[in-house]
Amino acid sequence: MNELATLTKEVKEPVSERLDVEAVRKEFPILKREVHGKPLVYLDSAATSQKPLEVIETLNHFYRTTNANIHRGIYLISEEATALYEGARKKVARFLGARSWREVIFTRSATEAINLVAYAWGRENVKAGDVILLTEMEHHSNLIPWQLLAKEKEARLEFIRFDNEGHLQLEDLDTYLKEKVKIVALTQMSNVLGTINPVKEITKRAHDAGAVVLVDGAQSVPHMRVNVQEIGCDFLAFSGHKMCGPSGIGGLYGRKEILEKMNPFLGGGEMILEVTLRDARWNELPYKFEAGTQSIADGIGLGKAVDFLNRIGLDAICEHERELVEYAMNRLNEVEGVKIYGPHDEERGSALAITLEGVHPHDLASLLDAEGIAVRAGHHCTMPLHQKLEVPATTRASFYLYNTKEEVDKLVEGLRKSKELFGI
């Protein structure tokens, strides 16, 4: 089998249901690194995941052997690049459970995907007085585009609240759906609280009321099985760099019937079928929404990341993270002064936002960094959420398939050392 066929072959689902974390770790070169003279403990996968060697080598191989623009060339390496890129799209479509590869649009990120919907769908369908319904836990990427649209169209922004445990109060959904709700846009998994929202149930209720649904899958798609047909959503945004893929690539799933009615988001080359000096006709899906030269290598790398996740198994990853988070929450509760935000039950994701009494989150992150532990500190692009929690910032540890209980122990040890340094 030649190298081109090797890169495009479909990887079968694994037979093992349990993740061999030590074997997985060997596939990530960066995990061999030392930081400040200590082994790297990477606990910031909610911000970006690390990359397995096969993804890195795929990028290297493309640039060394197959670098050419796609779709337009009738020479060999252009045709090879096109096959790899469109092969990656089909892998992503299967991964998400889409009905067709034409329902997957490659973008730079989940952020761009949401902006695409707010611009191309929202500006055509949202009118003055209509309701755009979000939640209080949304990332700024799923808030700012709708703020801009609401101001432009004189629409109303409303929000589903979350309770003290970080669960959505779905009675708010029912209340607002009695009004002119045009779209419900919400995260499937909070990047701070770790809450896993019941998007399937919310989608059904929204559709019964005549509303369209967009799911922000940036945090969910890397960690659990996500099937857009089972959810029933109209749109789903995702990000490649959070799912072991390269940065600069993400995507939008959209139902074909809706995408076909939407105008383009960007204008330029590739997204056209016919152009005159004063008019144009748009290309077919998904190319209508992919103007200009795309992130070709990154798209191919994303396809390889999908192969990798399929080989490891999403069920195995999800179970590993569930056990790890449960262990982490138990260990963190042993440290006096630590407060964990979000659900305390099993139905939560792998992001753990905490505060340590007497230590500012940024100071805590710096002290942990000195121990080789990489965590995130700040508002995590969720300022309204933190305003509701009445804290300016939190320190967030987020886990993925390559993290271990031993790394959790190092985190706990680092918290205790921080308390000693602050004399608390």
The model's pTM: 0.94
pLDDT band at 7 (very low <50, low <70, confident <90, very high): very low
Dump pLDDT digits (tens) for 12-24. 444 346 899 999 9
pLDDT band at 54 (very low <50, low <70, confident <90, very high): very high
Alpha carbon distance 379, 365 (integer Å):
13
What's the Cα-to-Cα distance from 262 to each of 3, 28, 48, 122, rounded to whole Å?
39, 40, 31, 9
Reported as half-sphere exposure (CB side, CA atoms, 13 A), residue 330 has a value of 8
pLDDT (mean) for 281-287: 95
pLDDT band at 40 (very low <50, low <70, confident <90, very high): very high
Cβ–Cβ under 8 Å, residues 184 and 204: no
Alpha carbon distance 390, 191 (integer Å):
17
Which residues are catalytic, by number?
381
pLDDT of 4 higher than 70 = no
What's the Cα-to-Cα distance from 36 to each of 26, 40, 62, rounded to whole Å?
21, 9, 34
% of the chain beyond a pLDDT of 90: 93
Reported as half-sphere exposure (CB side, CA atoms, 13 A), residue 391 has a value of 23
SS (H, E, C) 139-150: CHHHCHHHHHHH
Dump pLDDT digits (tens) for 149-206. 999 999 999 999 999 999 999 999 999 999 999 999 999 999 999 999 999 999 999 9
All structural domains of the chain, each given as residue ranges with its CATH number in brackets, are 41-49+313-421 (3.90.1150.10), 76-310 (3.40.640.10)
